[in-house]
Chain A
Amino acid sequence: MHPDGELETLMVRYQQGDFAAATALIQRLSPQLHRFFAVQFVSRPSADDLLQETWLRLHEVRHTYRPGEPVLPWLYAIARHIRVDHYRKAGRTSAREQSLDETPEMPAPRAAPAATLTMQEMLAPLPESQREVIELLKISGMSLEEVARATSSTVGSVKQKAFRAYEKLRERLGQMGGAS
């Protein structure tokens, strides 16, 4: 978890052309961005590609970050756009050809204690929008307001998705015998 102020300072320095600040941001934020793509069942090479594409786009539009505003909603709003674009392109490609490389890695259900499940396995039963909210809210540690900004929705809608997601997760983990 990064203090927001520190990220904002780095972002402002990045806008001023400071390469060290850009590198620091890449090092700090890439793991969570990578996870953001990975929980949506893209393959690891695709998550790497998406991460790279996201940073290139962030670099192109870094002037759209406004100093004083939180960095994470800005960053994730752009990352979501890249992900949606990726789905669109993948959809077009698969409409033309049967690509084995793009087959998403859907985790096979397995009987295991909840504590040993991977992120993908944990979030598998959730719809995409709920998975995204859980990832941003509970794992990236963003506030409701920040998630609402990142996902272009309202705080009420984010709350509702998180509540429903937790209901489903609780139900699933309960069936598996809880966190053993």
Chain B
Amino acid sequence: MKDGELDDILKRAAAAQPGPDPALLDKIAASIQPNMRPVRPLPSARKLHIALPAACLAIATMVAARLGLHGLAAMSGLQFLVIPLVPILIGRAAAAWVNETIPGSRRREPPLALLAIACAALLALFAALFHDPLADGFVHQGVVCLVAGLATAVPVALTGWWLLRRGFAVSPTGAAIAAGTLAGLAGVAMLELHCPNFQTWHVLVWHTAVVPVSAAIAVLLAKLVQIRRAHVDAR
């Protein structure tokens, strides 16, 4: 059987399908009539694609400047590549978050793939640029960096949430992963500017960890909100 014949059969079957009752359509129209007021559409995706990463980078830079730009001062040679490359990932994650909050947007990759790409890219970048094999105070210094990165992620996530507050996430979990990834990457950007510890394992493990931990926290929060809403609906 050819595709055209199959199309015809499907269309005939669809045409024979009984539609909704006209009375139901009148009821739907009547139910929205009392709330008919003009609404302001969301800003264009392009504006949001620029505003969101710009805000993230501004916050990360401000936090790093407040704590001291010791990492930037200690960088040499190719290590400066971190400065333009992390913002590229931030731009991509910001675009993903924007797209997750506008129904029917084009999706370049699933949010989970974005998270994996971001982590893999950071690991590759850090492995290529940092070659100090020592691991002094691995856990103690690492936890300090992880906490500082996550603390930076909080205002970034709140700012993003405020910018996108009028959006509607058809997949709350996907939006949470994108949001957490973006916030985590802003935390990494802050750490690269601030942290002067260039020991390979420290950067690879603790700086990169900010991204998945931030995404996990965001997903957890989204799930809690969903559970709470379900309880409210059930009442």
Contact = CB atoms under 8 A, between A and B. Distances in A.
B40 interface: yes
Interface in B1-49: 1, 3, 5-14, 16-17, 19-21, 24-25, 27-29, 31-33, 35-42, 44-45
Interface in B68-117: 101-107, 109-110
B13 A56 contact: no
Given A16-B38, A149-B104, A117 B24 contact: no
Contact of B104 (A63, A150, A174): A150
A27 interface: yes
Interface in A32-82: 34-35, 38, 47-48, 51-52, 55-56, 59, 61-67, 69-70, 72-78, 80-81
A117 B170 CA distance: 33
B20 A66 contact: no
A89 B194 CA distance: 47
A146 B20 CA distance: 24
Contacts of A72: 104
Contacts of A65: 41
Contacts of A70: 104
Contacts of A38: 17
A59 B104 contact: no
Contacts of B174: 152
A118 B25 contact: no
Q: Interface residues of A: mostly helix, strand, loop or mixed?
A: helix
A144 interface: no
Nearest to A48: B24
Contacts of B107: 148-149, 152-154
B20 A34 contact: yes
A78 B9 CA distance: 28
B173 to A, nearest CB: 11
A88 B173 CA distance: 14
A92 B230 contact: yes
A139 B10 contact: yes
A77 B24 contact: no
A118 B15 CA distance: 10
B166 interface: yes
Nearest to B18: A44
Instruction: Identify the 9 closest CB pairs spanning chains A and B, nearest first.
Output: A73-B104, A74-B104, A77-B103, A17-B38, A81-B170, A31-B19, A63-B39, A61-B168, A34-B20
Interface of A: 15-19, 22-23, 26-27, 30-31, 34-35, 38, 47-48, 51-52, 55-56, 59, 61-67, 69-70, 72-78, 80-81, 88-89, 92, 114-115, 117-119, 121-122, 134, 138-139, 145, 148-150, 152-154, 166, 169-170, 173-174, 178-179
